[in-house]
Chain A
Amino acid sequence: MIADFSWIRPEPHGIHVVPADCWIDPSRAVDKALVTHGHADHARGGHGQTIATPETLGIMKLRYATDEGATSVSYGETIRLPGNVDATYIPAGHVLGSAQILLEHAGEKVIVTGDYKRRADPTCLPFEVTPCDILITEATFGLPLFVHPPIAEEVGKLLKALHDNPECCVLVGAYALGKAQRVIAELRAAGHRAPIYLHGAMERMCRLYEEFGVELGDLRLVADHDKEAMRGAIVVCPPSALNDRWSRRLPDPITAMASGWMRVRQRARQRNVELPLIISDHADWGELTRTIEEVNPHESWITHGREEALLRWCQLHQRRARALAMVGYDDEDD
């Protein structure tokens, strides 16, 4: 096969689909953007047209207070872009509404995974393996030391801390989009029915999840309750609020954080975390490498994260790969 793939071009601020003149997850405003999911570093505001799943568009509307130029695409639906490019949105298993974008042009198939994971998540549809020629993959946790344990174990740790310290509350730092709702849904699945208290910044996103049919149970706002009511309860806040004055209103909080970075002790200590919970919405090393094997592309392009190590793995396994120098993607508090 002689393929040049010159129609798809990685640029520092996004992936350019040349014939359609549109961009995937661009880090600056463009005329036409294809957005994989609602995290702020992937879903910037101000594009002329934004093509995304209805859930992602809902999240963006919540953040930017406008849905101007929104074009909705359902999972599995293919839309035709200018220049004979077809785009299909496929579940990525990362957060509610997250999608891999399959692009087809002149018989060539390219998949942009966006952020993804392979673990089950009660708040979104699972990642689907789709064959393609070029896999443009993330590598946030692209080091062999990242092994995310089964989430039931981590939720178990959280519930045990709660049970062992009935006079305290457990404050869980969790990314406001995705992680927070997943942790709550997993707690519910583990049989925890008690009210869960939310930092104000979490509320609207949780309500949106519920509108999309993700049940989160009895949620209450910290601001509406006094200290004593929250003894023995779980409180969820954005990671930035963990060491903030805000937490002084809580009754003897035990500080927990739900993040893949918690695998490394120093990372947990930097945030003064007492109860690290290794819960990530990204693929760990095993998932990243297994996905490359299963999708089995002609070539892998690595967008953001620890691309050097994943590149090295591809080299060791005789797989073609290149690292893209992308800007503007954060590690996320994932």
Chain B
Amino acid sequence: MEEFAALIDALVYTRSRNAKLALIADYLRATPDPDRGWALAALTDGMDFKAVKSSTIRNLMKERVDPILWSLSRDFVGDTAETASLLWPEPSSDVEAPPGVAEAVALLGAMTRTTVLTELPMMLDRLDPSGRYALLKLATGAMRIGISARLGKVAFAQAFDVSVDEVEEYWHALQPPYAELFAWAAGGAAPPETENLPLFRPFMLAHPLEDAQVSMDDYAAEWKWDGIRVQLVHVANENGGETRLYSRSGDDISATFPELLDALAIPAVLDGELLVRGSTQGGVQNDRTQGGAASFNALQQRLGRKTVSKKMLSEAPAFVRLYDALAIEGEDLRTLPWSDRRGHLERFIPRLPDSHFDLSQIVEAGDFDQLAEIRASARDDAIEGLMLKRRDAPYVAGRKAGMWYKWKRDPLLIDCVLMYAQRGSGKRSSFYSDYTFGCWNGDPDAGAELLPVGKAYSGFTDEELKKIDRHVRQNTLNRFGPVRETDKSLVFEVAFDSVHQSKRHKSGLAMRFPRIHRIRWDKPAHEADRMTALEALIRD
């Protein structure tokens, strides 16, 4: 626990992403199993111990510290776990040595709401203030030290010099403390067994097209639909099969869209756009019974829910518009060229219920100019633009040069990460409604930092404002008067009219009329755009 506590402290005081990666990697290399696996789980996904809540800590403290002194201290520190770690009375008699991380996890996991009141104090007695802080943060599942799951995985890959895409792929097959993952990466053992597990495969992503032109002989074009990109995976097993739905960041969102789970009963890994039924996107215009989809707003109502009402299921049923097939009936198609995979997908789709699946149609264009014309005249509001996919490209994780391009529609759009939020004025004064956002100054997995590129305070509904406000409050790293620094995990798609060079801004760029176009709850921060993407949009 001492090493883990030292790591947590060091991470708290470290700003640069690179330095954080190095700290975690050093820890993972130096720490034995299973401690390091549990630590990794705590850093990435957080762990949930049902018996330990913030209120448990408060109650324990109120038995040990005068309630008035407790609340004065709590107000000053601003964090219950930290206050408790500082105020915990040092034990008067000899205690056991501090528990290791694995021991702590085992003890915490075995506690009940009753036993926690005697057992948690015994553990706290064994630790110093830093150890108590780490333990309480671990126990309440709220590290809030600005470490995303992605950062943890990148650090793991860095520690053992393995590919982060492989780590992503195995991650979902394994449970903490990830013994097989460490055995593979650190010990040279065979990769974890992933067959017959409904695993997430990292998505293939696109570069912005910018000023480039491509030949339609080499590239196929598809509409970029305005929903959320998902991966639907079905495996057969002795229980009859299992289906999981993953978001772009690899989060399991199966529970949010249960209607899709039963719809796929053949083993397959499919890549597509999740949409809800409606009349604005594709299909026969203005007829929701004819294969159309609703706007992103309608879909937004269903995102982020852990359970879904019957009403929602009938009013806004979800379906997937398929882009690609990564595997069908046990055959991994990822190494095949796009055109072959497309053939597999087209042959496969008649076997799926059309209530829940359709195919994203290819946009036929003789040459690039004709494609540009089609793009310019697309009247469908909710089409985001075009995707250009190299016909001979395999399906590879991440963003590989020259393979896939996204060609977004006007206005200029860019994905930025929320960095700071400030309280608004007037009727918004109780909300964090003014946002400063930034783009990466390089590859975020290679230590790039965010540079602020603009501010916006419009473009969202009151409902959305409430959600962002909640996000800001729950993900604050720092407060400076009316401004909060967030953990930089939320992506905004920002729309703006133009972008210019500017000496006044640290990033050297200034946007004209930036507004929040969409809140990308589904998009991980490291996939937001880089400065180069914004620079490419300079027109003067």
Contact = CB atoms under 8 A, between A and B. Distances in A.
Contacts of A273: 13
Given A144-B65, A275-B13, A316-B66, A270 B76 contact: no
A41 interface: no
Contact of B69 (A263, A276, A312): A312
Given A145-B83, A263-B86, A264-B77, A312 B14 contact: no
A143 to B, nearest CB: 5
B12 A312 contact: no
B293 to A, nearest CB: 44
Contacts of A266: 77-79, 82, 478-479
Given A264-B82, A266-B79, A312 B13 contact: no
A312 B78 contact: no
B57 to A, nearest CB: 14
A329 interface: no
A273 B83 CA distance: 20
B123 to A, nearest CB: 20
Contact of B73 (A145, A269, A316): A145
A309 B69 CA distance: 6
A210 interface: no
Nearest to B130: A265
Contacts of A215: none
B382 interface: no
Given A265-B12, A276-B13, A312 B82 contact: no
Interface in B61-105: 65-66, 68-69, 72-73, 76-79, 82-83, 86-87
B76 A306 contact: yes
Contact of A268 (B13, B73, B79, B477): B13
A269 B66 contact: no
Interface in A36-75: none
A284 to B, nearest CB: 12
Interface in A306-334: 306, 308-309, 312-313, 316
A270 B65 contact: no
A128 interface: no
B86 A145 contact: yes
B15 interface: yes
A273 B76 CA distance: 19
A196 B224 CA distance: 61
Interface in B460-489: 477-480
A272 interface: yes
A147 B77 CA distance: 14
B76 A143 contact: yes
A274 interface: yes
Contacts of B478: 266, 269-270
Contacts of A263: 86
A86 to B, nearest CB: 37
Nearest to B8: A265
Contact of A145 (B9, B87, B479): B87
Contacts of B13: 265, 268-269, 273-276
Nearest to A315: B68
Interface string A253-296: 00000000001111011101111100000000000000000000
Contacts of A312: 66, 68-69, 72
Interface in A141-197: 143-145, 147
A189 B82 CA distance: 33
A269 B87 CA distance: 20
A32 B99 CA distance: 61
Contacts of B15: 272, 274
B172 to A, nearest CB: 33
A319 to B, nearest CB: 14
A264 B477 contact: no
Interface in B161-177: none
Contacts of B479: 266, 270
Contacts of B78: 266
Contact of B72 (A147, A274, A308): A308
Given A269-B13, A274-B14, A309 B86 contact: no
Interface in B1-46: 9, 12-15
19 contacts: A144-B69, A145-B77, A263-B86, A264-B76, A264-B82, A265-B9, A266-B77, A266-B79, A266-B478, A269-B12, A272-B15, A273-B13, A274-B13, A274-B14, A306-B72, A308-B72, A309-B68, A312-B66, A312-B72
Given A306-B72, A309-B72, 9 more contacts: A143-B72, A145-B76, A264-B77, A265-B12, A265-B82, A266-B79, A266-B479, A269-B13, A273-B13
Interface of B: 9, 12-15, 65-66, 68-69, 72-73, 76-79, 82-83, 86-87, 477-480
